[in-house]
Structure 1
Amino acid sequence: MAADDIAQLVNTLSKTHLGDGELSYKGLGLKLDNAESVEELVQEIEQYQDLKVLRLEGNTLGVDAARAIAKALESKDQLQRCYWSDLFTGRLRSEIPVALKSLSSGLMIAGARLTVLDLSDNAFGPDGVKGIDQLLRSAACHTLRELRLNNCGMGIGGGKILAEALLECHRQSLVVGTPLRLRVFVAGRNRLENEGASALAKAFQTMGSLEEVHMPQNGINHAGVTALAAAMRHNADLRVLNLNDNTFTKRGTLAMAQALGQLRNIQVINFGDCLVRCEGAIALAAVLREGLPVLKELNVSFGEITEAAALVVAQTLMDKPHMEKVDLNGNCLGEEGCEALREVMESQDKGDMLASLSDDEGEADDEDDEDDGHDDEDDEDDDASNGCNGCNEEDYFVKENGTTANGESPSKSQFPEEVSSFLDCPSAEKLLELGEMRRHLLPEVNILDPHKAVEVLLKVASLYSEEPVAKATVLETFDMLLRKLLSGSALQAYTTLSTLLVLIGVLKGEGKKKKEPLTPGLLLCLEHAVQQDYFAQHHASLLHTILSNNRKALKSCCGSMDGLSSALEKRCLDEP
């Protein structure tokens, strides 16, 4: 060790005792290569009788130096918090696991009971995770409350090793009656992808104790997001969820929205740069309306959200007294959309909480089916390379009754013959002849994908005519179907309405589902439905917001649209 380094170390030793059992060498930039280079440091550790916190971050530690420090740690049974981030700058990849194993051994021999382990900003990869594997499985981590592994390059393999270690730690801690209750998990920028995220999701679900989860920039798409969503449902105390800069798309966002609906303590949601898109944003709006009572921050920036969907989100914030910040920057609002959003927020006395809109992308292109490489329909085969490896994302799609569903339409054999005949070739005569069998028209509804059910609704509406018997039959059937679709949770209702609007080309969707022709009959059926008791005021508000922001798509039925607009405006003004 150079003389200057020794002098610097000696000069700082008097400042390392910070009280409350903390010894800190943070940010000294020391190059600790061998036992000689850490003699003074080791002596300090050995002489600190009640050492509880050891900060080594911001130095660079070699194998021999780590062994010497580990030896000193063998007597430190009071040690609880290890802040060892940015500790291996300039070291060979092969050195790091060896150094970590030595440090881990010292902690385990001491019988330490860790509450915080921070190894962030150490690019140790999967092998580095192997270096702490035994520590994480040991009794030293039964008491762990915070695990911080941000920017470590763990990859899929490291994520799997970490997940299994946490599961084993939990199993062993249960045996001795002190179950692992990890509260904070940080693992951003680790290239975990779907397989790593799904493996960790199993650990999260098993522990059920998380309060903060930070996993930004991990290359996770809808399959991994869906697995994480299922796990979050089991962590009732979750307060912060940060999945920034992953790729949700519609399916991931809908699954996450459903999970959020079960959580009452969420304060911060960061889904920025996650391709939430319009249908996802509306799903989140449903959860905002029905739950999330203590939410403080919502980030859905850079998500390809258009003006109409952003306004729906803003309107649901009215009853959120704890809200402090809403970030919708970098979306596709356009200049007029940005101004409309500001007006909505200001009308609720929440204008000061709206983050800057300076990076808005401008209005979205008219073509909403462009192939951008992220459409759900194009992601079906992603699981082979990024996927769950045995984890079926559909297992996490939960229906209203709590069971799982795969979203597939029922086979025609599940319908009575007459119903199948109608669905194959709908006509007013066939609808009338169905009689009581019309109740079988609606397939079992997956809360996260009511596409097939909405298609049936559109088939019925297409048969509207002014002939009295046909008109009455169509309206009665339309009411029956729509009532069922809107009678569940707000999430099911909002998903139904957004799916309907996407199918008729009014709302920007994703994927390559064929658009249904917009008919005056549908608008007339909706005008009738809006006036019924099952059509809630907030349903009318959603519909009015989106339709009024895209009258261009309705120009072919402008006459029928006038009546629907009038009915919606009247319903929106009704007392809730």
Structure 2
Amino acid sequence: MTAFNLTGVSDAIKDLIDEDGVNFAGLAAKWESANDVKDLIKAINECKKLNFLNLEGNTLGCEAAKLIGEALKKHPEFKRALWKDMFTGRMKTEIPPALIDLSNGVMHANAQLTVLDLSDNALGPNGMTGLEELIKSPSCYSLKELRLMNCGLGITGAKMLAKALTHCYKKSVINGTPLQLRVFAAGRNRLENEGAKALSAIFKEIQTLEEITIPQNGIYHPGMSALSEALKMNTKMQVINFNDNTITAKGAEPLAEALYAIETLREINLGDCLLKDEGGQILSDVIADCHPNLEYLNLSGNEIGPDVGCAIANAMGHKESLYQLILDCNQFGEDGVETISEIMEGFGKLDALSIEDDEGEAEEDDEDDEEYRDDEQGEEEEEEDHEAYSDNESGGENDCIITNTSSNFSQNNFETSLDNSVLLNTSSSNDDPVVTFYNSNVPTIEKFNEIKDEDKLKSFKNVLSNASVGDDYLTHLVFAILKLSSIGEESEEAKTIAQELYKEAFEYGKNKDRIKSIRNFFLIQLGLLKSEEKEFSPKYNMKSCRSALANAIKENSLPDDEKSIFEHFLNATK
């Protein structure tokens, strides 16, 4: 299969198409408009057999995603969605609608996906809302590989994913084509115990997994016990990667029971899992008894001592296919390292051994440390971590997508100043009822009715424009919309004024290149998107504010591109 490199754009289109699919990977392209994406669309349209579409390493906006989705509608043969790292620099609000448009193209074509790879995209729970319908759909009944590495799903996103997979599996069984997922990869996602438990439940039902890769997820022994129960039901498992989770001896016990039920394992990665001697010995025993085809074992960084290290080495005696045993960064001591090396040399497997950076034998007074992290400190840290993560579950390595940092638009004012720290300072009298309404801690229908002007919309615009210029005007404008919206259920007139001010805000914001900031502000203030500020919580009447937003959408007060984004988030709350 030819690897493509876009250089001459339209002249090179023919080089971007082969019989298997289209590859635009690694171009660092920024696709916003129809013009930006025209060459990709042409390549998709001219590809006679679009088995795969690789968009990795580019950045995709909403308009471009919609056009790609339209092009995909013509390709029922589409199988592999290779969409890693394609939202760098995007705001969280852009990702769900972009995924929905791509998904709609796949589903409309009745394509049967075998691979869905969205790794290295900072999806979070908000992004998962853009994937749910695709995963539930018949287009995923055929799914063999689901790769969501480093997507910041968090516990909430993991539960959403588990629910969607459960729906897919049950519907696929009814359809007579049961989902036979083979590969699940979701490392670095903050799944924690609750996320692991939710996913384990569907893995127990599917029973076809051959690879599970979930390193660095803050999983302790309760989550490991749930995963172990699922492993028992997936007896064709070949690859297990639980690296850098806190398994300890407590988690090693149920895991060992599961390993006894699986004879097909080729790779086991339990590095940095705080197994220590007790956990290492438990796993050494099962590995010695089973897994004749084992090729790779990683038990590095587990504070394992020399006796257990020798037991692990002895367990490799009959592993004819072994090509790597990684025991780096343990506590064998110089003599232990030498003995382990001699054992492996005796088996003719010294070349497979990696045993570097040994930390030396542990002190004897460390006996209780096993339970320290596992039972008390470990779970306490997990609880603290979860609290910290819960305010920013959308993150991943690509956290730059969450805010427009180049903007001078005051995000602090927009997100957190709900106690009237943003006040109108105007040449108008402080007794002006518009100023009084705006500056009140709690906007009420009574204060609104004190505005006797026949044209209240004009009064609001005059006061706001006299009070401030530039970005300050926009700041006051959006807060006025919120305050009017919060009484919209009590006053149709207030809701109508809010609707007109929505139009003013987006028109002004467009001229000032502030559209994305305005969008983010309203989604956060209306409780539709998580704030980056841990202490922030919406203060206004959310039901009334959301109703006013829906009215503004209905009355075409928002740009068309923004309407679809806001509609998505509003629909997700129903």
Is 1:188 the counterpart of 2:221? The answer is no
Query: Who is 2:14 aligned against?
Result: 14
Query: Who is 2:145 aligned against?
Result: 146
Look up the SS of the partner of 2:116 in the other structure: strand
Query: Who is 2:361 aligned against?
Result: 363
Q: Quote the Cα distance in structure 2 between the aligned partners of 1:302 and 1:262.
A: 26
Residues 296 and 250 of structure 1, relative CA distance in 2, 3 Å threshold: same
Q: Quote the Cα distance in structure 1 between the aligned partners of 2:370 and 2:227.
A: 24
Look up the SS of the partner of 2:142 in the other structure: coil
Residues 28 and 350 of structure 1, relative CA distance in 2, 3 Å threshold: same
Q: Quote the Cα distance in structure 2 between the aligned partners of 1:90 and 1:380.
A: 35
Q: CA deviation at 1:160?
A: 0.6
**8 Å contact kept, 1:238–1:266:** yes
Is 1:39 the counterpart of 2:41? The answer is no
Look up the SS of the partner of 1:15 in the other structure: helix
**8 Å contact kept, 1:249–1:374:** no
Residues 102 and 340 of structure 1, relative CA distance in 2, 3 Å threshold: same
Q: CA deviation at 1:24?
A: 0.8
**8 Å contact kept, 1:224–1:387:** no
Encode CA deviations 1:207-230: one digit per residue, 9 max, x unaligned: 010111110111111111111111
Encode CA deviations 1:187-245: one digit per residue, 9 max, x unaligned: 11111111111111111111010111110111111111111111011111100001111
Look up the SS of the partner of 1:294 in the other structure: coil
**What is the alpha-carbon root mean square deviation over aligned residues?**
2.1
Look up the SS of the partner of 1:131 in the other structure: coil
Q: Deviating runs (4+, > 4 A) in structure 1?
A: 5-8, 370-374, 379-384
Q: Quote the Cα distance in structure 2 between the aligned partners of 1:334 and 1:366.
A: 14
Residues 383 and 29 of structure 1, relative CA distance in 2, 3 Å threshold: closer
Encode CA deviations 1:384-407: one digit per residue, 9 max, x unaligned: 93899xxxxxxxxxxxxxxxxxxx
More RCO (CA 8 Å, sep 6+): 2
Query: Who is 1:99 aligned against?
Result: 98
Look up the SS of the partner of 1:269 in the other structure: strand
Query: Who is 1:243 aligned against?
Result: 242
Encode CA deviations 1:282-339: one digit per residue, 9 max, x unaligned: 1111112221121111110000100011111111222222222111110011111111
Q: Quote the Cα distance in structure 2 between the aligned partners of 1:386 and 1:224.
A: 17
Look up the SS of the partner of 1:376 in the other structure: helix
Matches within 5 A, 1:473-484: none
Q: CA deviation at 1:94?
A: 0.9
Look up the SS of the partner of 1:241 in the other structure: strand
Look up the SS of the partner of 2:171 in the other structure: helix
Q: CA deviation at 1:349?
A: 2.0
**8 Å contact kept, 1:223–1:383:** no
Query: Who is 2:464 aligned against?
Result: none
The one-letter code of the counterpart of 1:15 is D
Q: CA deviation at 1:125?
A: 1.0
Q: Quote the Cα distance in structure 1 between the aligned partners of 2:214 and 2:335.
A: 34
Q: CA deviation at 1:380?
A: 8.7
Q: Quote the Cα distance in structure 1 between the aligned partners of 2:156 and 2:279.
A: 30
**8 Å contact kept, 1:62–1:99:** yes
Q: CA deviation at 1:35?
A: 2.0
Q: Quote the Cα distance in structure 2 between the aligned partners of 1:292 and 1:372.
A: 27
Q: CA deviation at 1:373?
A: 8.0
Q: For 2:376, which of 362, 373, 378 is the aligned residue?
A: 378
**8 Å contact kept, 1:194–1:386:** no
Matches within 5 A, 1:480-519: none
Q: Quote the Cα distance in structure 2 between the aligned partners of 1:124 and 1:29.
A: 19
Is 1:109 the counterpart of 2:88? The answer is no
Is 1:254 the counterpart of 2:253? The answer is yes
Q: Quote the Cα distance in structure 2 between the aligned partners of 1:182 and 1:6.
A: 34
Q: Quote the Cα distance in structure 2 between the aligned partners of 1:337 and 1:154.
A: 41
Look up the SS of the partner of 1:233 in the other structure: helix
Residues 177 and 70 of structure 1, relative CA distance in 2, 3 Å threshold: same
Query: Who is 1:131 aligned against?
Result: 130
Look up the SS of the partner of 2:237 in the other structure: coil
Q: Quote the Cα distance in structure 1 between the aligned partners of 2:125 and 2:347.
A: 49
Query: Who is 2:336 aligned against?
Result: 337
The one-letter code of the counterpart of 1:216 is P
Look up the SS of the partner of 2:15 in the other structure: coil
Q: Quote the Cα distance in structure 1 between the aligned partners of 2:200 and 2:89.
A: 33
Q: Quote the Cα distance in structure 2 between the aligned partners of 1:316 and 1:48.
A: 52
Q: CA deviation at 1:18?
A: 3.0
**8 Å contact kept, 1:125–1:152:** yes
Query: Who is 2:284 aligned against?
Result: 285
Residues 379 and 223 of structure 1, relative CA distance in 2, 3 Å threshold: farther
Residues 89 and 360 of structure 1, relative CA distance in 2, 3 Å threshold: same
Look up the SS of the partner of 2:240 in the other structure: strand
Residues 387 and 58 of structure 1, relative CA distance in 2, 3 Å threshold: closer
Look up the SS of the partner of 1:228 in the other structure: helix
Look up the SS of the partner of 1:226 in the other structure: helix
Q: CA deviation at 1:381?
A: 5.8
Query: Who is 1:211 aligned against?
Result: 210
Q: CA deviation at 1:383?
A: 10
Q: CA deviation at 1:162?
A: 0.6
Moved more, 259-268 or 279-288: 279-288
Q: CA deviation at 1:371?
A: 4.7
Taking structure 1 as the reference length, the TM-score comes to 0.64
Residues 12 and 29 of structure 1, relative CA distance in 2, 3 Å threshold: farther
The one-letter code of the counterpart of 1:367 is D
Q: CA deviation at 1:369?
A: 3.3
Q: Quote the Cα distance in structure 2 between the aligned partners of 1:340 and 1:7.
A: 56
Q: Quote the Cα distance in structure 1 between the aligned partners of 2:100 and 2:384.
A: 30
Encode CA deviations 1:145-188: one digit per residue, 9 max, x unaligned: 01111111111111111111111100000001000000011111
Encode CA deviations 1:502-535: one digit per residue, 9 max, x unaligned: xxxxxxxxxxxxxxxxxxxxxxxxxxxxxxxxxx
Aligned-pair identity in percent equals: 42
Q: CA deviation at 1:382?
A: 5.0
The one-letter code of the counterpart of 1:179 is P
Taking structure 2 as the reference length, the TM-score comes to 0.64
The one-letter code of the counterpart of 1:9 is V
Q: CA deviation at 1:372?
A: 7.8
Is 1:221 the counterpart of 2:220? The answer is yes
Q: Quote the Cα distance in structure 1 between the aligned partners of 2:91 and 2:117.
A: 20
Query: Who is 1:294 aligned against?
Result: 293
Query: How many residue pairs are counted as aligned between the two chains?
Result: 382
Q: Quote the Cα distance in structure 1 between the aligned partners of 2:207 and 2:222.
A: 21
The one-letter code of the counterpart of 2:338 is E
Where structure 2 has 5 or more consecutive residues not aligned to the other structure, the ranges are 387-574
Q: Quote the Cα distance in structure 2 between the aligned partners of 1:237 and 1:6.
A: 41
Residues 344 and 7 of structure 1, relative CA distance in 2, 3 Å threshold: closer
Q: Quote the Cα distance in structure 2 between the aligned partners of 1:380 and 1:42.
A: 50
Q: Quote the Cα distance in structure 2 between the aligned partners of 1:386 and 1:253.
A: 24
Q: Quote the Cα distance in structure 2 between the aligned partners of 1:298 and 1:377.
A: 27
Matches within 5 A, 1:436-475: none
Q: Quote the Cα distance in structure 2 between the aligned partners of 1:291 and 1:372.
A: 26
